[in-house]
Structure 1
């Protein structure tokens, strides 16, 4: 009795399940920017407190704290997209 041709086996790891996305690692610049924003935000706030409000932007007064936290929060939000 003749044999039938075997089917080609596909690896389940090579093909994502229906509806799933294959994730790629982040670009090389992603981690330095992410950590850089967190550090810049921290230094912005520290500079504001150490200089007693004269630096980084004297005209902004206490809004410098909001700016520092805003910069740092952008860095923290980037951590939710971090893939290795």
Structure 2
């Protein structure tokens, strides 16, 4: 039976020339962006709290019925989507 050829093991060291740093576009987010982002999340939370606690006393809010959930969670989702662009 013929003898198999001995394979040379591949070198797994990383080539230092291929490790160039990548520059990130832009810099940190401005303060107003963070304030608006947190504002959306807090506004959604407050909308739902007011709906649960005082909807009977606020007639226009009581008329919205289940749309209040869409408004409250929608505001919070907008704030969460903004977190993806926050640096």
TM-score bin (small chain): 0.5 to 0.7
State yes or no: 1:44 paired with 2:54. Answer: no
Superposition RMSD in Å = 2.2
| Pick aligned residue for 1:68 from 69, 72, 85 | 72
Tell me the residue number matched to 2:61. 57
Count of matched residue pairs: 67
Q: How many angstroms does 1:52 deviate by?
A: 4.2
Name the counterpart of 2:29: 26
Contact 1:48–1:54 (8 Å) recurs in 2: no
TM-score normalised by length of structure 2: 0.64
Contact 1:41/1:69, CA 8 A, preserved across alignment: yes
Gaps of 5+ in 1: 1-11
Measured after TM superposition, the shift of residue 48 of structure 1 is 0.5
Secondary structure of the corresponding residue to residue 29 of structure 1: helix
More helix as a share of residues? 2
TM-score normalised by length of structure 1: 0.66
**Any unmatched runs of 5+ in structure 2?**
1-19
Q: Which runs of 4+ in 1 moved over 3 A?
A: 52-56
